[in-house]
Amino acid sequence: MSQTESRRLAAILESMPYIRFLGMSVDLAGDEMTAILPFKPALVGNILLPALHGGVLGAFMEMTALIQLGVREPARRQPRTIDVTIEYLRPGRALTTYARADVRKVGRRIANVHVEAWQETRASPVAALRGHFMLSADEAS
């Protein structure tokens, strides 16, 4: 990762206070970004299992999508969420959680992104997100 990409990624992470609250970090290798959510007890929603709160998983995946769009579309302002659909596939246990975003389509104004989150094995996701995000209009428009 170049110094410019590293600074841009750090700026994106700093611009979102909820990322700091969650304790999220990202690992960027080439054009493939992996978001990391370290476990902490404050993120537990069901203390009997214990399992991560569904809102934490949803927000983690939404932030992953926004960060990926920010890295992929550096000339644009921060995207805004239009809608998301979340599929909770299994309980998110008290473990570190990982996510990757796949930008399916970027149009002039809207991007379509799919995110999968997993814990121990990527082949067994705990949740998935499909979302639409509003991109800033091109400066020339």
Q: pLDDT tens, position by position, for the chain (141 residues)?
A: 567 777 778 888 888 888 988 999 999 887 789 999 999 999 999 888 899 999 999 999 999 999 999 888 877 788 999 999 999 999 999 999 999 999 999 999 999 999 999 999 999 999 999 999 999 865 444
For the whole prediction, is pTM greater than 0.75?
A: yes
Residue 139 lies in a domain: no
Residue 116 lies in a domain: yes
Contacts 24+ apart (CB under 8 A), 19-26: 19/63, 19/67, 22/56, 22/59, 22/60, 22/63, 24/60, 24/63, 26/67
Residue 127 lies in a domain: yes
Residue 141 lies in a domain: no
Containing domain of residue 108, as a range? 3-134
